Structure 1
Amino acid sequence: MAITRFRHRTLAVVGLAAATALALSGCTSGTSGADGASGDAAGDAKITVGISQFVQHTALDAAAEGFKQAFIDAGYVDGETVVFDEKNANAEVATATTIAQTFATDGADLVLAIATPSAQAAAQNLADVPVVFTAVTDPVAADLVASVDKPGGNITGTSDMSPVADQIALIQEIKPDAKKIGVVYGSGEVNSSVQVELARAAAKKLGMEVVEATVTNASELMQATESLGDVDAIYTPSDNLVASGIGAIVGVAEDKGILVVGSDSTHVEGGAAATVGIDYTKLGHQTGEMAVRILKDGEDPATMAVETSKDTELTVNLGAAKRLGVELPAELVDRAVNVIK
């Protein structure tokens, strides 16, 4: 798939559903415990950074890569002055808890928690270790921080709150006669419930209504999408189950000729027609910069405000739109930052 216009890069096809085997052994860049070579910005001692990722899919993978790159950009040397101990919960809350407990026992210097369930597990099990999170939509609703301005504990990070109102408006721009929007999301994810509430409010202002279907695992996505019935468009929120199984939703939409608008670019890579969303690599890098300030400069997570993405990008997928039976307005395509052919 080619990318044209302002930015030339290849967007990856969205990741497959999470592997069934648990990955507690992690994917470590080196061994911890010994002093290593120093980087100009990193200091002399080797540090260990635990990374707890809730599930494998493109957005969360990108956030992890951006986070690690921030350390390299700050002068740390991977495997020498910093060791990344990466573990994946494969969408199991119990496994996320075990991962957090493992990091506490092993004495990680800092932990990155990627996605709300992993962040909640870290917050509950890592009282004495600084924790930063990313890909968390509403850290207050998830009981991670006291407030976004003053988190008040040992945990802070970045929110991936999507511009939901803009995304719902995008549906109307593409399909002006749309009246009913279908939304499928995981029933156990606080971040998803928050987004659905925002979508419902935004749709009401534009004279549309939202029809919901919830799932408890990715295998239910196809049936849930079919249960939406006669909808004019489908909106896919930033939900881990949705992201890991976006193909199931898109497949139903293609069969029925229904517009799909996603909440981030990985959904568009996976077959949605368009989004106004954040760049998860940049969000992860922003989180890594916060982590560096904690480790290098001694900043206190309790007083570090939760940050949000500094910019959004319009991404469209011309091939996906055609498969969904939708013609994207020329003006929309013209102003897109990323155009997937």
Structure 2
Amino acid sequence: MTKLTAKLLNVTVLTILSTGALFSSIAQAETYSVSVTAIVDHPALNSIRDGVKDQLALEGFEEGKNLKWDYQSAQGNVGTAAQIARNFVGNNPNVIVPIATPSAQAVASVTKDIPIVFSGITDPVAAQLVKSLDANGTNITGVTDELDINKQIELIQKIVPEAKTVGIVFNPGEANSAGVVNKMRELLPNYGMTLIDVAAPRSVDVGPAAQSLVGKVDVIYTSTDNNVVSAYESLVKIGNQMDLPLIAADADSVTRGAIASLGINYYEHGKQSGKMVARILRGEKVGELAVQGTDQLELIVNKKAAQEQGIVLSDDLLSRATKIIE
């Protein structure tokens, strides 16, 4: 073999190796696929979505490099949620992340194989997604945002000490919301209060449902019901006009006009979900991961909303607030 032949051979080998590395790099860039869907777009659910994506990037799974990210919103339509779920399963991603109960139920009904990591769900057992919060050997796990209802009622008492009747607007078709209503009805008598609940199966029903509570309740409490949160301004309008205090479970609802919330940070909730997704992408089995919750609650207070709704906030409450909106 001449020196020239050897040199050409070396160049050819290097070219093949570099081409192989390029193809390997491309293959690596297309290795992971995560499909995310939410029942509707509103600040809390959008924060979850963003938290999942940002955490995956921190974990080394970045869109445009080694992650294919597909997000779709059902825009509040259960039929659309079912269609999105079927399309996702047809694409066969590595993990599906459904945000909120209707989307999770839609995805869970069409696949028993693709790993599902739900997020933004209050009671996954009542929603029949899992039989318990323990590792269950199925393709479903996730992060629950369930809150201690006793602490929610105690917040109501701190803000409206004289309250005897609590109103709640909810979508009876959403398992999360129905579960909160049942617990409120059970626990409120322990605090000398009763509940009046009004159904709002669609977002457009939220305002009229709230209007029907005027004169009947001393305060309105809102859970993380997706219909209610997506139309929260209609509640705020009534609360401000009628001096009817609004207290929420969702922190973003406070920025939109509720007086206060004692709840979780939904961006951090999303990041927690993103950590679970990353573990699965690295090879852990979804059936071996227990459902997670969080005890990290934030008290958010809106002083302007309190004034609009005829409430004077105590110094004690303000001193304990994580964030105060002036």
TM-score, length-scaled by structure 1: 0.86
Residues 324 and 101 of structure 1: CA distance in aligned 2, closer, same or farther (over 3 Å):
same
1:287 matches 2:255: no
Match of 1:210 among 195, 199, 203: 195
Give the one of 239, 242, 246 matched to 2:228.
Answer: 242
Shift of 1:202: 2.8
Match of 1:327 in 2: 312
> Contact between 2:29 and 2:64, CA under 8 Å: does it hold in 1?
no
Residues 1:108 and 2:97 are matched in the alignment: no
State whether structure 2 residue 228 is matched by structure 1 residue 230.
no
Name the SS of the counterpart of 2:119 in structure 1: strand
2:323 aligns to what?
Answer: 338
Q: Secondary structure at the match of 2:114?
A: coil
**Separation in 1, partners of 2:26, 2:95:** 19
Give 1:178 deviation, angstroms.
Answer: 0.7
Counterpart residue number, 1:258: 244
Corresponding position of 1:13 = none
Question: How far apart are the structure 1 equivalents of 2:198 and 2:24?
Answer: 52
Alignment of 1:101-180 (within 5 A): 101-180=86-165
Partner of 1:193: 178
> Which residue, 38, 50, 71 being the options, matches 1:53?
38
In the alignment, the residues of structure 2 paired with residue 36 and residue 225 of structure 1 have an alpha-carbon distance, to the nearest angstrom, of 56
CA positional deviation for 1:45: 5.1
Deviation at 1:282, TM superposition (A): 0.5
- The 10-residue stretch of structure 1 (53-62 or 145-154) with the greater mean CA deviation from structure 2: 145-154
Shift of 1:271: 0.6
Show CA shifts across 1:183-239 (max 9, x none). Answer: 000121010011112222331111000111001101111111111242111000110
CA displacement 1:234-259 (0-9 Å, x = unmatched): 00011000110111111111111011
Query: For residues 180 and 153 of structure 1, what CA distance do their matches in structure 2 show?
Result: 42
Q: How far apart, in 2, do the equivalents of 1:36 and 1:85 lie?
A: 21
Higher mean alpha-carbon deviation, 194-203 vs 331-340, is at: 194-203
Matched residue SS, 1:314? strand
Letter paired with 2:250: D
Distance 1:122 1:35, change over 3 A: farther
For 1:230, give the aligned amino acid: K
Identity of aligned residues (%): 36
Q: Which amino acid aligns with 1:266?
A: D
The SS at the match of 2:109 is helix
The aligned counterpart of 1:273 is 259
- Corresponding residue SS for 1:316: strand
Off by >4 Å, runs of 4+ in structure 1 = 34-38
From the CA coordinates, give the structure whose radius of gyration is larger: 2
Gaps of 5+ in 2: 1-22
Whole-Å separation in 2 of the counterparts to 1:328 and 1:198: 26
Q: Which has the higher helix share?
A: 2
Range with bigger deviation, 214-223 or 301-310:
301-310
Q: How does 1:5-44 map to 2 (within 5 A)?
A: 36=25
Q: How far apart are 1:150 and its partner, in Å?
A: 2.6
When residues 168 and 310 of structure 1 are mapped into structure 2, their CA distance, relative to the original with a 3 A threshold, is: closer
Which is further off, 87-96 or 225-234? 225-234
Secondary structure in 2 aligned to 1:328? Answer: coil
Residue 187 of structure 2 aligns with an amino acid whose one-letter code is A
Q: TM-score, normalised by structure 2?
A: 0.90
Question: Cα 1:221–1:45, aligned 2, differ >3 Å: closer, same or farther?
Answer: closer
Please report how far the alpha carbon of residue 162 of structure 1 lies from its aligned counterpart in structure 2 after TM superposition: 2.1
- Contact 2:117–2:273 (Cα < 8 Å) also in 1: yes
Partner amino acid, structure 2, of 1:102: N
